[in-house]
Structure 1
Amino acid sequence: MRLLVLGGTEFVGRAVVEEGVARGWKVAVFNRGTHGVPDGVAALRGDRTAPGGLEALRSGEWDIVVDTWSWGPAAVRDAAELLAPRAASYVYVSSRSVYEYPVAVGADESAPLVEGSPDEAGDPGREGYARAKAGGELAAVRAFGDRALLARAGLILGPYENIGRLPWWLNRIARGGDVLAPGPAELKLQFVDARDLAAWALDAASRQVGGAFNVTGPVGHTTMRDLLTACVRVTGADARLRWTDPEPILAAGVQPWQDLPVWVPPGELYEFLHRTNVDRALGEGLRCRPAEETVADTWAWLSSLGGRAPQRGDRAPVGLAPEVEKALLSGPA
């Protein structure tokens, strides 16, 4: 199989590249060349936001193209239109953010979407992320029709994470001592390991599957207790999880998801993030590794970097300020 990854050096894109290489496929990446590529991977250089920046893609044929673009969807439009005559399948890694919020519990891929345009250019900013992803979907479908596979990912974790969610928890727990653990401890979580997302996308695309899929782990794939306990176990830290109810945490002005990554208290946002209908993806072969494997492999990767994970420039760093954690721990837990 001939695989082209637009990007291919960070997080999901890198997971896709490594999965393709592991399968013995012929893999090429297209990017600006600011990061290295694995051995045996062809490097095509260009800037998809610049005039004439797609010249390196004007020749060549591929079985699968994978695109993880998160900014102005006009870049997806231009690449997809150029590649449509010479590629069999186009995988656009989208997001569940494309759904109009709130989303009814149990809703599937037919739920209403936010408005987006395939012709919007530029950086939409954090507030425009959902609109940008929706526009990217429209661009992919307009060029590839039913040959476009839309992977509406939920929370993505795993090695190479450049958002900082699981790395923050691992680094915090590795420091040891009392750790603020947001409850309820048995709160069920959904996420997908970037490597499982990559494997599923390549499997589905190789079978010429098209259409939209919610791609994350099944409901209750893990819990807050199991996730944080796994962090304690793999780091070997002398850390004590101090489980704390949501009320005092929220009263202290702590922002769920941002200050305490992964966690949101029970409520409307929790239902959206951690009670996703993934029946369609599971039926199409999605398989998710145990959460502890994701935690352990992420810690091994993070340790190889001295604990300093890469950080996307368009995302604010996540994590709870030490003084806020200390203040909360000094109260009743």
Structure 2
Amino acid sequence: MRLLVLGGTEFVGRAVVEEGVARGWKVTVFNRGTHEAPDGVTALRGDRGAPDGLEALRHGEWDVVVDTWSWAPTAVRDAAELLAPRAASYVYVSSRSVYEYPVPVGADESAPLVEGSPDDAEYRDRIADYARVKAGGELAAVRAFGDRALLARAGLILGPYENIGRLPWWLNRIARGGDVLAPGPAELKLQFIDARDLAIWMLDAAARQVGGAFNVTSPVGHTTMRGLLEACVRVTGSSARLRWAEPDPILAAGVQPWQDLPVWVPPGELYEFLHRTNVDKALGEGLRCRPVEETVADTWAWLRSIPGDAPQRADRPAVGLDPKVEESLLSGGA
């Protein structure tokens, strides 16, 4: 199989490339070259935001194209239109954020979407406009490839190479030891997808020429807040003590769920959207999710293998709780 990854050096793109190489596929990456390409691949250079930036893609044929783009949809449009005559399948790594919020519990891929356009060349704010640009990217992929477009609407993504900082923050905080504020309820059910499981599923489905939209994250209750944080304690070998606190005092202190305490969202409308996703369609198409312990252990092993801090995307704010706020909450009886 011939695989082209648009990107391919960071997080999800890196996981896709490594999975393709492990399968013995002929893997090509296309990017600006700001990060070194993984071993065993052919590297093409170009800037999707520049005039003639796709010149390196004007020749060649591929069985599967994987696109991880998260900015202006015109970049997806231009790449997809250029590649449509020479590629069998186009996989666009989308997001569940494309659904019109709030999403009814149990809703599937047919739920209403936010408005987007494949011809949208601008975005004002990377976070505020995320849903719109992802929706536009989906439309661009479908317009060029039709039913050969596979839309992977991923949920929370964790695992090695994470450049958002969610699981790395928890691992590093717990590794420091001491009392750790653990946001409850402890048995709060979580959904996430390991980037490697996302990569495996996308390549398997694309190789079978599966098309259409899929919610791609773990089944509801794949783990819990307790399961995630206790796994962090075990794999780091830390003497940290988890001090469980109910949501109300945490929120009253001005702590921002998801941002200050990554992964965690208290029970409510946003929690239902993030952690009670219908994934029946993806499960029926072969999605399998590894245990949380494996994701946590492999992420910790990766963190220890790299010099310095974990990579951080420049377009995303750093996550994590201010130590002074944590200390204040813990001393207040959390």
TM-score normalised to structure 2 length? 0.99
Q: Which amino acid aligns with 1:80?
A: A
Matches within 5 A, 1:54-65: 54-65=54-65
- Name the CA distance, whole Å, in 2 between partners of 1:158 and 1:88: 29
- Name the CA distance, whole Å, in 1 between partners of 2:181 and 2:29: 41
- Name the CA distance, whole Å, in 2 between partners of 1:148 and 1:19: 20
Asked if residue 257 in structure 1 is aligned to residue 258 in structure 2, the reply is: yes
Deviations, residues 163-215 of structure 1 (Å, cap 9, x unaligned):
00000000000000000000000000000000000000000000000000000
Cross-structure match for 1:117? 117
Measure how far apart 1:121 and its partner are: 1.3
SS at match of 1:232: helix
Deviations, residues 254-313 of structure 1 (Å, cap 9, x unaligned):
000000000000000000000000000000000000000000000000111246110001
Cross-structure match for 1:209? 210
Measure how far apart 1:122 and its partner are: 3.4
- Name the CA distance, whole Å, in 1 between partners of 2:314 and 2:308: 18
Asked if residue 226 in structure 1 is aligned to residue 227 in structure 2, the reply is: yes
Measure how far apart 1:90 and its partner are: 0.1
Measure how far apart 1:40 and its partner are: 1.7
Verify the 8 A CA contact 1:193 1:289 in the aligned structure 2. yes
- Name the CA distance, whole Å, in 2 between partners of 1:39 and 1:261: 32
Deviations, residues 3-25 of structure 1 (Å, cap 9, x unaligned):
00000000000000000000000
Cross-structure match for 1:173? 174
- Alignment CA distance shift 1:300-1:27 (3 Å): same
- Name the CA distance, whole Å, in 1 between partners of 2:166 and 2:283: 25
- Name the CA distance, whole Å, in 1 between partners of 2:124 and 2:256: 23
Q: Which amino acid aligns with 2:164?
A: I
- Name the CA distance, whole Å, in 2 between partners of 1:128 and 1:37: 29
Verify the 8 A CA contact 1:171 1:307 in the aligned structure 2. no
Deviations, residues 15-67 of structure 1 (Å, cap 9, x unaligned):
00000000000000000001111222000000011000000000000000000
Q: Which amino acid aligns with 2:217?
A: T
Measure how far apart 1:253 and its partner are: 0.3
Cross-structure match for 2:270? 269
Cross-structure match for 1:310? 311
- Name the CA distance, whole Å, in 1 between partners of 2:274 and 2:235: 26
SS at match of 2:179: strand
Measure how far apart 1:89 and its partner are: 0.1
SS at match of 1:259: coil
Cross-structure match for 1:297? 298
Cross-structure match for 1:38? 38
Cross-structure match for 1:99? 99
SS at match of 1:168: helix
Deviations, residues 128-168 of structure 1 (Å, cap 9, x unaligned):
00000000000000000000000000000000000000000
Asked if residue 6 in structure 1 is aligned to residue 33 in structure 2, the reply is: no
- Name the CA distance, whole Å, in 2 between partners of 1:324 and 1:267: 23
SS at match of 1:103: coil
- Name the CA distance, whole Å, in 2 between partners of 1:108 and 1:40: 38
CA-based RMSD of the aligned residues comes to 0.7
Verify the 8 A CA contact 1:156 1:194 in the aligned structure 2. yes
- Equivalenced residue count is 333
- Name the CA distance, whole Å, in 2 between partners of 1:92 and 1:154: 14
Deviations, residues 60-114 of structure 1 (Å, cap 9, x unaligned):
0000000000000000000000000000000000000000000000000000000
Unmatched 5+ stretches in structure 2: none
Name whichever of 305-314 and 200-209 sits farther off: 305-314
Cross-structure match for 1:187? 188
Unmatched 5+ stretches in structure 1: none
SS at match of 1:299: helix
- Name the CA distance, whole Å, in 1 between partners of 2:263 and 2:199: 21
Measure how far apart 1:332 and its partner are: 1.6
SS at match of 2:27: strand
